[in-house]
């Protein structure tokens, strides 16, 4: 087990956002955090790497309490991709190389540069290496930020709506790449997802939040029509199409 979350509670002023939330993630697993808007998904993700500090509970990374780790120690183990990033006058290659910052003592080595080049190729960004970020589309920029997180070589990768700015082809490419790298490098993935069908296609485990709490958590068996209907308040059916489970609103 790489990540263990136990009894997390979080509040903004008097408003409770998360209450008694707990789950575990193993190396190589892809966990999707699901739920309606306002369910606390992004807040939960930010507590995992100390961007936000929970009021109660514990988060253990390889058995160590995250709240007691330094920013550098966390950066060496965890990478975080937010929903939105601003572009600037920086090349794609340099932006992805920034992912190596926690590992670089004096200057980037030949192995750092080779690693970045390999990730650019794997994420379909090879031809963009010398392009500037402010010349990219929103979808292209999102892929760069994900590539930078992969360059960090984390043991846990946190993703907040990683496909929100991507078209269908790029959604599939990015999630396939993330899942492949996770399996190859034994990285745990924790991702906030809105698209239930993408979550079903790529995830190993699911955490559905409702009314500040975990409604249900587990493997594909928990993604039933009944559970989804109750968690989202919208009637759905779950059917198998070409050997893939899909959610269909009724």
Reading the block at residue 151, the tokens are: 């360059």
Task: Give the DSSP per-residue string, 61-111.
Answer: ETTEEGGGS-HHHHHTTEEEE-S-----S-BHHHHHHGGGGGG-SSS--HH
Cα 96 from Cα 115, distance rounded (Å): 10
Tally of domains within the chain: 1
187 band by pLDDT with thresholds 50, 70 and 90:
very high
End-to-end CA distance of the chain: 38
Residue 20 makes CB contacts below 8 A (sequence gap 6+) with 7, 8, 9, 57, 213, 214
Reading the block at residue 29, the tokens are: 């697993």
Cα 191 from Cα 36, distance rounded (Å): 15
Single pTM value for the model: 0.93
Q: What is the average pLDDT across 111-128?
A: 92
Is the pLDDT at 40 greater than 80? The verdict is yes
Task: Give the DSSP per-residue string, 105-157.
Answer: SSS--HHHHHHHHHHHHHTT-GGGTTSBGGGS-HHHHHHHHHHHHHHT--SEE
pLDDT tens column, 133-184:
989 888 888 889 999 999 999 999 999 999 887 888 888 988 988 888 888 8
CA 1 → CA 29, 63, 109, 210, distances in Å? 10, 9, 32, 25
Is the pLDDT at 78 greater than 90? The verdict is yes
5 band by pLDDT with thresholds 50, 70 and 90:
very high
Report the candidate in 32, 34, 48, 38 with the shortest Cα–Cα distance to residue 16.
38
Q: What is the largest CA-CA distance in the chain?
A: 58
Is the pLDDT at 227 greater than 90? The verdict is yes
pLDDT value of position 166: 83
Q: What is the average pLDDT across 1-27?
A: 93
Reading the block at residue 86, the tokens are: 């601003």
Q: What is the average pLDDT across 68-92?
A: 88
The CATH number of the domain where 82 resides is what?
3.40.50.300
Residue 14 makes CB contacts below 8 A (sequence gap 6+) with none
Q: What is the average pLDDT across 64-69?
A: 94
Q: What is the average pLDDT across 204-211?
A: 95
Q: Which residues pair with 156 in a beta bridge?
A: 78, 188
Domain of residue 214: give its range. Answer: 3-249
Is the pLDDT at 30 greater than 90? The verdict is yes
The answer to whether 48 and 59 have CB atoms below 8 angstroms apart is yes
Neighbours of 221 (CB within 10 A): 9
Is the pLDDT at 87 greater than 80? The verdict is no
124 band by pLDDT with thresholds 50, 70 and 90:
confident
What's the mean per-residue pLDDT of the chain?
A: 92
């Amino acid at each position: 087990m790489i990540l263990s979350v136990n009894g997390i509670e979080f509040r903004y002023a008097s408003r409770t956002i998360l209450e008694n939330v707990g789950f575990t993630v193993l190396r190589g697993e892809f966990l999707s955090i699901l739920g309606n808007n306002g369910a606390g998904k992004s807040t939960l993700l930010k507590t995992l790497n100390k961007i936000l500090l929970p009021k109660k509970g514990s988060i253990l990374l390889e058995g160590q309490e995250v709240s007691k780790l330094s920013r550098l120690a966390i950066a060496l183990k965890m990478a975080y991709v937010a929903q939105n990033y601003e572009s600037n006058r920086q090349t794609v290659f340099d932006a992805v190389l920034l992912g190596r910052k926690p590992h670089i003592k004096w200057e980037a080595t030949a192995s750092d540069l080779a690693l970045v080049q390999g990730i650019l190729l794997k994420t379909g960004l090879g031809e963009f290496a010398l392009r500037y970020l402010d010349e990219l589309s929103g979808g292209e920029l999102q892929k760069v930020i994900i590539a930078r997180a992969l360059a960090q070589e984390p043991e846990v990768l946190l993703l907040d709506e990683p496909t929100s700015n991507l078209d269908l082809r790029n959604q599939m490419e990015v999630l396939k790449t993330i899942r492949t790298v996770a399996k190859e490098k034994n990285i745990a993935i924790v991702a906030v997802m809105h698209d239930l069908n993408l979550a079903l296609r790529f995830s190993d485990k699911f955490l559905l939040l409702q009314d500040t709490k975990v409604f249900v958590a587990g493997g594909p068996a928990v993604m039933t029509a009944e559970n989804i209907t109750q968690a989202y308040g919208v009637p759905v059916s779950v059917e198998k199409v070409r050997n893939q489970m899909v959610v269909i609103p009724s």
